[in-house]
Amino acid sequence: MTKKLFTLLLALFVGVSFGANAQKKKKAEEAKPAVAETPKKPEPPKKPEAPKKGPKPYKEVIDSTAVTQRGLMTVHKMDDKYLFEIPDSLLEREIMSITRYSKTPAGGGIFGGEEVNRQVVKWEKGINNNILLRSITKVIMSPDSSKPMALAVKNSSADPIIGNFEIKAIKKDSAGKVALGYVIDVTSTFDSDIQTFSLGSIDKQILNIVAFQKDRSYIQKIKSYPINTEIRTVKTFSTTPPRISLTPVPQIGTNLPAALDAGVITMEFNTSMILLPKVPMRKRTFDARVGYFANGYGVFEEESHKADEDVFAVRWRLEPKSKEDAERQKRGELIEPKKPIVYYIDPATPEKWRKYIKAGIDDWQPAYEAAGWKNAIRGEYWPENDTTMSLEDARFSVVRYFAADIQNAYGPNVHDPRSGEILESHIGWYHNIMSLLRNWYLIQTAAADPAARKKKFDDNLMGELIRFVSSHEVGHTLGLRHNMGASSATPVEKLRDPAFQEKNGHTSSIMDYARFNYVAQPEDGVKHFFPRIGDYDKWAIKWGYSYFADAKDEDEEKKILNDMTKEAYKNRRLWFGTEISPYDPRYQTEDIGDNAMRASEYGIKNLKRILPNLMEYSKENGESYQELEEMYMNLVGQFRRYMGHVTKNVGGIYDSPKTYDMEGNQFEITPKALQKDAVAFLNAQLFTTPLWMMDQNILSKIKPENGVEAIKAMQDATLSSLLAGDRAVRLMESGAAGAGNYTLDEMMTDLRNGIFSELKTKTSIDIYRRNIQKVFVDRVAALLKPGNAMVRSVPVGVTYGFSTRVVNLAQTDLPSIARGQLIDLKNEMKAASVRMTDKLSKYHLQDLIARIDMALDPK
């Protein structure tokens, strides 16, 4: 058998055998009972991979769709999102955040351009992949961060976190190792209602705001510049209905028509985030003898026995361009500063007034020249076609013009809280300041200046008045406070001297509230009636802006300045008088001259000349008597100011800031003769009825009353001020300090003799006098059971605020003196009443005797 045949037979055998066995196995399996097959479990779905935590690659976050602006913080706009790229070098740097209104609802007394919020903030790295934004409050500090005391200060001054941002991406250097910047999404921060960049809680209460409306609020735009980033937002708030007010002048929050119409108000805000200098300007230690705004904080040092306060003046940074310039300045040459002070005029300002506002700014140049600088300050017109500039941009100082019927202007500044360096200012100028100027100038000078005798002033006169206000407000933005004592350096008779007035003006400082020369009489020939930048202003700028190239630190500067100040103090025209003194009669608003009694007497003579002419000054055919009423009420207001100026002499204390190396006391009691003159003036000019003010030809056209109650109200106000608890305390204390001082009992006796002069003359008492006599008895009777008096004082060396002590008047001589005065008065009235023939006068005295009896013995 061949091999091939054998192989074929074997395959056939195997195949038959396998087939038979397979059939047997199949039959056997079919004979078995069926068994259910167990289904397989489905595999669980795979979980999606969790996204990797942490920043993504920079190009994945900031792709080709981003619209990018580079600046202090690089801004990327992607669809409706705003991303900030925070440079690593910016972390821990302090930034001033200034939020202003850009647009406001009408009628609420708030205006586009006004400041809303101001805070220092800083970016810092968080513990995870996040960036924090903190608000910085300067309250306490330690000058040496390496000392243990610095840790104690840090533990006592934690700053709040106002933002927490996930880092979306990190921009690195070309080698991919060094972080250059951190990308964060700030959209939800600026389109929401975070207080730092919006209204504060108090503002919301004033404006009757209920809640922020997220769906109607958004970011309008963000722009970035080299040292600042500007964020413009639109915010909508729901409100409660406006409060009803009868006040004619718009008050904040009282009248928002939009709130009434729609139940919501919408505002636009601009937030400027401006980088503060890496190295703060050298501080200039505050001196109470020179009137600068100040900043300060508590200082804790290792070697000190108590916490000190570092208080420093607020001023612009003026520095030479080079060391060579500094040497030239030391030799007496004028040099230009590295960065001048520039104020722009709002293009909304009416064209005819712009040059006067600019002139008021430029008028400060001679003051800076006295400090060694030329071209240090100037006004400029806003370049209206320059789209790179914004009125809200914190890099620019602007005189903003508000379309408002508020009679005011104000001059704030924004400064670095670490050093007092002024960064910028937005002066507020309300349209109706011109109405105020017209009223003041007419009432105070029309007797001597024919140009003031009209309803509408000529443009040149109004322009010069605007110029004066511009200079005053700019002075505030240079750091200068009100110097209410400046006008007291001018003797009253010099106010009538034409040559003196032409050379010096009526006050040594434009920062005084000494509006116009109301003392000059028509026959004097005076031609200059309003303030100018004076001797004090030039001295104050020299103090604040002189550059001391050789002084190595603040302490050396302080010594140099102290020597300068002591020398300046020899000239009374260079003194500063605080605007907050409650007791120094030399420091008052709206007064002029060194003697309020003589100055006010001259002022009243002029008022008597002006009053009969008010009809002529105000008339206009077809118009109501509204202008006449306004002028008359301003004249009455001026008279009341004179009464206030005189009253402050009673119980007065002179406060002349001194240091250990100066002669004399800081506090001195106002001389007795002046205080007695003050009471005699009030008896003659006010408590003896000023019937000249009751011009029935005028009153019958503007009021249904004839003036009886108006006179009583004026008299009551002054009498209540004279008998006020704090004044009584000063008179009792000064009386105890020396026999030659004016006492409370003497003051009340002088008042009583003047107010009840009819008891000695045995003449009838008219209705005006009966009224003031009743007021006197009621006011003195109330002193039998006095309460507490809040007695304020200005602590020595302190910039602002008062220290206050509470005096229980029942435990002083006041009720005893009041009782004695009432008994003496009762006896005088009893003796006079039997001889009084006028029926009403007799009834009146009987009534007062009964009132005194009831007060002395209520049972």
How confident is the model over 163-197, as pLDDT tens digits? 999 999 999 988 888 889 999 999 999 999 999 99
> With 70 as the cut, is the pLDDT of residue 30 above it?
no
- Torsion over CA: 167, 169, 171, 172 (sign): positive
- Name the residue type at position 526: V
The reported pLDDT for the residue numbered 302 is 41
Buried b (16+ CB within 10 A) or exposed e, 761-791: eeebbeebbbbbbbbbbebbbebbebeebeb
690-700 residue pLDDT tens: 999 999 999 99
The reported pLDDT for the residue numbered 239 is 87
**41 — pLDDT class (breaks 50, 70, 90):** low
What's the chain's length in residues?
859
744-789 residue pLDDT tens: 999 999 999 999 999 998 899 999 999 999 999 999 999 999 999 9
Could you tell me which residue, 40 or 373, shows the higher pLDDT? 373
What mean pLDDT, rounded, does the chain reach? Answer: 88
> With 80 as the cut, is the pLDDT of residue 504 above it?
yes
Mean pLDDT of 833-859: 93
Compute the half-sphere exposure of residue 508: CA atoms within 13 Å on the CB side of its CA.
24
307-358 residue pLDDT tens: 457 889 999 999 999 999 999 999 999 999 999 999 999 999 999 999 999 9
476-497 residue pLDDT tens: 999 999 999 999 999 999 999 9
531-557 residue pLDDT tens: 999 999 999 999 999 999 999 999 999
d(CA 539, CA 536): 5
Mean pLDDT of 589-599: 97
Q: 89 is written with which tokens?
A: 């070098």
Q: 778 is written with which tokens?
A: 């009621």
- Name the residue type at position 272: S
d(CA 296, CA 799): 10
Mean pLDDT of 811-838: 94
> Measuring CA to CA, which residue among 233, 254, 275, 273 is closest to residue 101?
233
Phi, psi of 326 (to 5 degrees): -60, -40
Q: 400 is written with which tokens?
A: 């903003």
Burial of residue 523, with CB atoms counted within 10 A of its CB: 0-12 exposed, 13-18 middle, 19 or more buried: exposed
The reported pLDDT for the residue numbered 19 is 47
The reported pLDDT for the residue numbered 24 is 47
Task: List, in order, residues 6 or more apart from 150 with CB less than 8 Å away.
Answer: 142, 144
d(CA 129, CA 317): 39
Q: CB–CB of 266/257 below 8 Å? A: no
The reported pLDDT for the residue numbered 300 is 40
The reported pLDDT for the residue numbered 112 is 83
The reported pLDDT for the residue numbered 241 is 67
382-408 residue pLDDT tens: 998 888 788 877 789 999 888 777 777
- Using CA atoms, how far residue 539 sits from 312, 366, 542, 543, 829, in Å, is 18, 11, 5, 6, 58
d(CA 362, CA 378): 5
> With 80 as the cut, is the pLDDT of residue 805 above it?
yes
d(CA 544, CA 315): 7
Mean pLDDT of 615-621: 93
The reported pLDDT for the residue numbered 42 is 64
Convert 27-65 into a string of H (helix), E (strand) and C (coil). Answer: HHHHHCCCCCCCCCCCCCCCCCCCCCCCCECHHHHCCCC
Mean pLDDT of 225-253: 74
Mean pLDDT of 441-467: 96
The reported pLDDT for the residue numbered 226 is 86
Rounded to the nearest 10 degrees, how much is the dihedral formed by the CA atoms of 532, 533, 535, 538? Answer: 180
The reported pLDDT for the residue numbered 411 is 83
The reported pLDDT for the residue numbered 206 is 84
The reported pLDDT for the residue numbered 11 is 44
d(CA 774, CA 782): 12
What single string gives the DSSP state of each residue in 57-125? PHHHHS-TT-EEE-SSSEEEEETTEEEEEEEGGGTT-EEEEEEEEEE--TTSS--TT-EEEEEEEEEEE
Beta strands in 155-282 (DSSP E): 161-166, 169-172, 179-185, 209-212, 218-224, 228-239, 264-275
The reported pLDDT for the residue numbered 317 is 96
Q: SS3 breakdown of the chain: % helix, strand, coil, rounded to 5?
A: 40, 20, 40
59-80 residue pLDDT tens: 999 999 999 999 999 999 999 9
Task: List, in order, residues 6 or more apart from 630 with CB less than 8 Å away.
Answer: 439, 618
H-helix or E-strand spanning residue 617: helix 614-618
The reported pLDDT for the residue numbered 44 is 66
**35 — pLDDT class (breaks 50, 70, 90):** very low
- What is the percentage of the chain residues whose pLDDT exceeds 70? 88
The reported pLDDT for the residue numbered 106 is 79
For the ranges 63-77, 83-97, 108-122, 565-579, the lowest mean pLDDT is seen at 108-122
The reported pLDDT for the residue numbered 516 is 97
The reported pLDDT for the residue numbered 49 is 63
| Full-model pTM | 0.85
> With 80 as the cut, is the pLDDT of residue 304 above it?
no
